[in-house]
Amino acid sequence: MRTNSATAIALLVSLSTSAARAEEVTAWRLFISDHADPKVTVIDAIDGEKLDTFEIKGPASLHRSESGRTVFAVQGTAGVVTGIASGISFEDHGEHGDIDVEAPKLAGIEITGKKPSHFVEHNGDFAAFFDGEGVARIIDEKSVLEGKPDFREVKTDAPQHGVAVAYGSHVLLSEPNREKPDELPVGIRVADKTGAPIGGIHACPDLHGEASSGDILAFACATGLLVVSHGDGSPAVRHLPYADSLPEGKTTTLIGGRGLQYFLGNYGVDKVVLIDPTIESDAFRLISLPTRRVHFAVDPVRAKFAYVFTEDGQLHQLDVVKGEIANSLKLTDPYSMDGHWSDPRPRVAVAGDRIVVTDPLQGVLHLVDATSFEKTGDIAVEGKPFNVVSVGGSGQTHEGE
Amino acid sequence: MSRTLKLAAVIGAITSLPMAPSVAAAENLKVVASFSIIADFAKNVGGDRVDIVTLVGPNGDAHVYEPKPADAATVGSADVVLVNGLQFEGFLQRLVEASATKAPIVELSKGGEVLRNSEEEGHHDQEKAAEGGGGHAAAEEGHEEGHHHHGEYDPHAWQSVHNAELYVKNIADAFCAADAAGCDTYRANAESYGQQLDALEAEIKAAVAEIPEDKRTIITSHDAFGYFEHEYGIKFLAPEGVSTESEASASDVAALIKQIRQDKASAIFVENVTNPRLIEQIASETGLKVGGELYSDALSDKDGSAATYLEMMRHNITTIKGAILGS
């Protein structure tokens, strides 16, 4: 029996002579962590109603899975990653997809250890890297949703601010800076499933930031990107150097395009860079921003657009085909980037046809229509709404099946 | 709205727009072809009057292609976009949306003899493609039958030379609509190329006739030769489905090996767009020797043995015949 959210939009689209009736249902949810309090608030993105609040152990950064079935709260200060079942899932039937909507809930899985940091998904496997131990704990989505703690551990040689990616029957592991263990990793090693190294180190000085777009995975380095694709039997890794024409700088945060294959990264404090890793020349397109950058996100629905929020309180719509800012919209008071890097500042997510921007100092979410790029409203959220991710979409339900 | 229905709507909206204004005589028609086989057809029809950009190039796999922002820019500035349709280009909808192109998106398989996906029906029924795109009709039919469909039609229609002739006619029509001044040239080129296609088909039929009927079952990587089977009488078995996107399961492979033994398959082949490992595994388990490389969804590069459609089809039948007859 499928349970639909009371606020999901249900539209009767077809009736057949059989007992089965197909309904088109749209449901979107926002998961919001608080900057000060250990909690995650879940809000129905369509009607703005609060669905639930989950108490966790510390302020969290949030990650949603590719499928949208799970959301993870990475609580660096509390030493734990908490799995949350979003309650929304899809089943692909080729000609259409079915949607199943249930109440969100804690999945019953916690991944514990010293200083959880980078949390990466690849093809349904999640790797939580624990800086203080130099260890990655890996679990698949099915286990998380079933509440089974089926972790496997892969160890690196030393504690580091590192990253691991479960890549099929291999693991990609950051290589610590042995001479200066407090500094960023110096490369990537391909290892087998147990962590035993295969081949040498792929140099990636100051490694920080990773993302996937389509079938390509990329790590950001001081010298360019390490681009990982499927090789003959094991991952193929190549280095894509920054173009000589780029100014001094590097990317430290990467996100992968959806629908179109590209990467969007920071570059300096007031620029972003669009990267096509499949070409050797003109792979990097630098885009200057009016002020310093606060946060950026790609649009998973409208592949042509990404969004950048800047410290002057503006949300910018970035046309990734033309490589330029197409529209800008003032949403908040200024949020200076002076101060601590983790001070409460806005974050951006896209929920269907809405762009959502947190405004932690005002305790609201600003809603922007993704088509008109006009502000359409606010949702009040208690506390300081900070990190935000969205899950949802449209699909069919089949009453009577 | 499902992805398929959306795609039908997008394409319908674009193709219902007035055709792009005819280009000036001195300016070549800017054509985007979704993959290499279509680009070759377009080159034969357009000759020197067209500039062609191919999205999925030689040896590329359109089933799993990920479009880039640069592709969207290319489609955005095109005069004509040529695609296969029948959900072959899974990336098409998002690319067209991102490009905001005003060019007509021409589905070359439209009007052709289209086979149902063998995964759906367990056999190949000959069907006329529904007007306005098979996808829409297929989705509705699926609901009425109360079960789900995974791609109603086999998209590899070019593997029938008859359909290739239709592709060429559709290209000529599209070029004439976009460049009236060049229409006589396009028609003449299409006529000339059509004669070469007729000769090709006769060659294929003659080659197949030389293969004993009880030796006409062979193995390939993915289910891309349904039209060749239907037209020319070679039976193809494949571990992967119509799309290369999902890998064959262990039970699929075991069932295939059983079927290979039952049907006494004569030869096994790798394809240029798929990883040969699975085929090599099946070959070692069945004792069949890999008989060579077939070209299914993409041409070879210009130095290869299948750099054009004509060369591809000749290479495939020559390789099949050679492996079966041991010559």
Reported as a single tens digit per residue, the pLDDT across A8-48 is 444 333 333 344 578 899 999 999 999 999 999 999 999 99
Q: What is the pLDDT of residues A145-185, one digit of tens each?
A: 999 999 999 999 999 999 999 999 999 999 999 988 889 99
B280–A contact, CB cutoff 8 A: no
> Do A368 and A315 meet the contact criterion of CB atoms below 8 Å apart?
yes
φ, ψ at A351 (rounded to 5°): -120, 95
Torsion of Cα atoms, A60 then A64 then A69 then A73, to 10°: -10
A14–B contact, CB cutoff 8 A: yes
Residues of chain A contacting residue B152, judged by C-beta atoms under 8 Å apart: 95
A17–B contact, CB cutoff 8 A: yes
The number of C-alpha atoms within 13 Å of B175 and in the hemisphere containing its C-beta is 35
Q: Which residue has the tokens 């060749």?
A: B228
Q: What's residue A20's pLDDT?
A: 57
Residues of chain A contacting residue B139, judged by C-beta atoms under 8 Å apart: 95-96
Residues of chain B contacting residue A14, judged by C-beta atoms under 8 Å apart: 140, 143
Q: What's residue B119's pLDDT?
A: 55
- For residue B80, list its beta bridge partners: B31
A352–B contact, CB cutoff 8 A: no
What region, left, alpha or beta, does residue B172 occupy, with left being phi > 0 and alpha being psi -120 to 50 degrees?
Answer: alpha
Task: Compare CB distances from A276 to B69, B135, B152 and report the shortest one's residue.
Answer: B69
Give the pTM.
Answer: 0.88
Shortest distance between the Cα of B28 and any Cα of chain A, in A, equals 23
Shortest distance between the Cα of B3 and any Cα of chain A, in A, equals 7
**Chain B residue at shortest CA distance from A214:** B66
> Do A20 and A12 meet the contact criterion of CB atoms below 8 Å apart?
no
A288–B contact, CB cutoff 8 A: no
Q: What's residue A400's pLDDT?
A: 55
Residue from A300, B115, B65 nearest B83 by CA: B65
Query: Across the interface, do B150 and A93 touch by the CB < 8 Å criterion?
Result: yes
Task: Compare CB distances from A94 to B66, B72, B151 and report the shortest one's residue.
Answer: B151
CB count within 10 Å of CB A333 equals 10
Distance CA B225, CA B267 (A): 15
Distance CA A354, CA A311 (A): 21
- Scanning A153-172 for CB atoms below 8 A from B yields none
Residues of chain A contacting residue B76, judged by C-beta atoms under 8 Å apart: 321
Residues of chain B where predicted confidence (pLDDT) is lower than 70:
1-26, 118-151, 327
- For residue A213, list its beta bridge partners: A216
Coil, strand or helix: which one is B309?
helix
A283–B contact, CB cutoff 8 A: no
B212–A contact, CB cutoff 8 A: no
Residues of chain A contacting residue B72, judged by C-beta atoms under 8 Å apart: 260, 303-304, 321
B246–A contact, CB cutoff 8 A: no
Query: Across the interface, do A321 and B97 touch by the CB < 8 Å criterion?
Result: no
Distance CA A319, CA A300 (A): 13
Query: Across the interface, do B68 and A14 touch by the CB < 8 Å criterion?
Result: no
Task: Compare CB distances from B142 to A95, A213, A320 and report the shortest one's residue.
Answer: A95
Sequence-ordered strand ranges (E) for A206-347: 210-213, 216-220, 224-229, 236-241, 254-256, 263-266, 271-275, 284-288, 293-298, 305-310, 314-319, 324-330
Q: What's residue B274's pLDDT?
A: 85
Shortest distance between the Cα of B26 and any Cα of chain A, in A, equals 27
Q: What's residue A231's pLDDT?
A: 87
Shortest distance between the Cα of A181 and any Cα of chain B, in A, equals 38
φ, ψ at B150 (rounded to 5°): -120, 60
Distance CA B194, CA B215 (A): 31
Query: Across the interface, do A14 and B135 touch by the CB < 8 Å criterion?
Result: no
B96–A contact, CB cutoff 8 A: no
Judged by average pLDDT, the poorest of A40-44, A103-107, A316-320, B273-277 is B273-277
B202–A contact, CB cutoff 8 A: no
Coil, strand or helix: which one is A200?
strand
The residues, any chain, with a CB within 8 Å of residue A255's CB and separated by 6 or more, are A211, A263, A264, A265, A296, A297, A298, A306
Task: Compare CB distances from A261 to B68, B97, B142 and report the shortest one's residue.
Answer: B68
Query: Across the interface, do A215 and B64 touch by the CB < 8 Å criterion?
Result: yes
Query: Across the interface, do B1 and A321 touch by the CB < 8 Å criterion?
Result: no
From residue A395, how far is each of A19, A245, A350 by CA, in Å?
19, 46, 18
> Do B251 and B201 meet the contact criterion of CB atoms below 8 Å apart?
no
Query: Across the interface, do A274 and B69 touch by the CB < 8 Å criterion?
Result: yes
The residues, any chain, with a CB within 8 Å of residue B222's CB and separated by 6 or more, are B238, B239, B240, B241, B242, B243, B244, B271, B273, B274, B296
Size of interface A-B (CB pairs under 8 A): 90
Single-letter amino acid, residue A224: G
pLDDT band with cut points at 50, 70 and 90 for residue A312: very high
- For residue B127, list its beta bridge partners: B114
From residue A21, how far is each of A10, A99, A396 by CA, in Å?
12, 14, 10
Helix axes B309-325, B183-209, angle to 10 degrees: 0
Query: Across the interface, do B69 and A394 touch by the CB < 8 Å criterion?
Result: no
Shortest distance between the Cα of A394 and any Cα of chain B, in A, equals 8
Residues of chain A contacting residue B71, judged by C-beta atoms under 8 Å apart: 260
- Scanning B65-84 for CB atoms below 8 A from A yields 66-73, 76
Distance CA A322, CA B70 (A): 9
